Structure formats: structure tokens, C-alpha cells
Structure 1
């Protein structure tokens, strides 16, 4: 069974990190819409924004994801927890899928290798923030803190 820490002391920091990444994605999307306005939705032209290649479809998806992630990061309940875990998986799967079709006509989001790397990095960040921002009643946190942990291994002396 998976173990997610409840009421982790660094939870506000993780929510801020997730919100900042969501803000970056939103700004990227808005700038991408401005840059690619007038071109076709799935254009393969060389439009770059914030060091990443973009087309209008990718920019629109980025705006939607950015707004959603900012909303999730700003909520006090477990909505952000589940959104971050889901976003982490989505970014990882999308990055890997787009890497497999990078040099083919199936690259409909106009990814480049830098976009793949950033997508995988954001996936790891969202998975990490999702693991530690679960909220629960204080008695759940007390039960989790009272659970026996594995003892530290004793240092072994080296043979001389």
C-alpha cells in the first residue's frame, strides 16, 4: 500500500513550487499564443518561446494546464495533491510519447528535445510535490508519526 505523508511540514513550500511551475506553464502558453497567432493549429514552423518550440495547439493546452495547476496549488484541501500526482503522470507520459515521435509527422505538438526534457522535469516536480502535500485531520498525522519506523543500521567496525 502506498504511503503518503499527511500534513507534511513543508507542504506550503511544495504548493508554492507547484504553483510557480503552473505559472511558468501559463506564461509560456500565453506567450506561445501571441507568437503563433495566425499560423495553423498544428503548425510545424519554428516558433520558440522561453527556449521551447511551440505551436498554437501546444500553447492553448499549456494555458489550460497552467490555469488548472495554479487553481490546484491554491486550494487548501487534497485537490492539489491529486492534481499534482495526475499532472506528474501526464507530463511524464507526454514527454516520453513525444520523444518517440520527435522526428516524425506525428509530432503534432511541435516538441523539440528541450521540450521533452522540460516536460519530464516538470513531471518529476509534480510527482514530488504531489507526494508531500496531502492534507488530513491532525489525528491521521499523529497516527502516521507514531508508526514504528525501520531502525537505523548500526555502524559496523572495519576489520584492520
Structure 2
């Protein structure tokens, strides 16, 4: 069983951070859709929005992802926890896969290296926020703290 911190004191900060990432992605998607409207869905033109290269397909996907992240950040339960963990993994995997095809015709989302770097940063931040924004009853949080500060755990930490 993983030991995710429950009711972490910095949880509101992590929710705001994931919400800001979602807002950036949403604005990027809307801006990119306005720029690329009428072009082919998977076009490879040189369109840039907010510092990232885009096409119509990437812009539309960004609108959906941004909205989903904002919804996850606005919920008080564990929905945001699971959404951030999933989104972090999706961003990391997508950026690595598309980095491997940057200079080929398989670059269907029209990524550039700056888009890869931003996607990796967003993925790492979302993964980190997902690790620390789990919610649970006070008893579960207390049990997690007791496990973390148990005398046996102290012995292992000193080694």
C-alpha cells in the first residue's frame, strides 16, 4: 500500500498550483484553436500560441485537458488527487513519446522541443501535486502520521 500523505497542510497550495496549470492549458487551447481554426486538424504549420507550437488537434485536446484539470482542482475530495496523478503520467508519457518523433511525420500534435519541456514540467508538477493532495478522515491522517513517526521508522531513518 502506498503511503500518500493524507490531509497534507500544503494541500490548498497544491490545488491552486494544479488549477493554474489547468488554466494555462485551457487558455493555450482556446488561443491555439482561434489561431488554427480552418486549418487541417493535424497540420504541421508553424503556429505558436503562448510560446508553444500547436495545431488544431493539440489545441482542442488542450481545451479538454485544461477544463478537466480545473474541475479536479476545484473539488474537495480525492477526485483531484487521482486526476493529478493520472494527468501527470499522461503529460510525461506524451512528452517523451512525442520527443522521440519530433523531426518525423509522426509528430501529429506538432510538438516542438519547448512544448516537450513544458509538458514534462507540467507532468512533474501535476504528479507532485497528486502525491500530496489526498484527503481522508482525521483518523486515517493520524494513523499515517503515527506510522511515519513510529519508533521503528525512526531507527530506519537514522541509518
TM-score above 0.5: yes
Is the counterpart of residue 153 in structure 1 residue 154 in structure 2?
Answer: no
State the shift of 1:20 in Å.
0.3
TM-score by length of 1: 0.94
Alignment map for 1:9-158 (pairs within 5 Å): 9-147=9-147, 148=150, 149-151=153-155, 153=158
State the shift of 1:112 in Å.
0.2
Alignment map for 1:2-13 (pairs within 5 Å): 2-13=2-13
Deviations 1:6-34 (A, max 9, x none): 00000010000000000000000000001
State the shift of 1:150 in Å.
2.9
Deviations 1:58-100 (A, max 9, x none): 0000000000000000000000000000000000000000000
- The structure carrying a bigger helix percent of its residues is 2
Distance 2:99 2:6 in 1: 35
Whether the 8 Å CA contact 2:3–2:144 is kept in 1: the answer is no
State the shift of 1:2 in Å.
1.6
Distance 2:144 2:3 in 1: 9
State the shift of 1:145 in Å.
1.3
Kindly report structure 1 stretches of 4+ aligned residues shifted beyond 4 Å: none
Number of residue pairs aligned between Structure 1 and Structure 2: 154
TM-score by length of 2: 0.94
Flag the structure with larger Rg: 1
Distance 2:6 2:16 in 1: 17
Distance 1:150 1:3 in 2: 16
Structure 1 gap ranges (5+): 155-160
State the shift of 1:117 in Å.
0.4
Single out whichever of 15-24 and 139-148 deviates more from structure 2: 139-148
- Compute the RMSD of aligned alpha carbons: 1.1
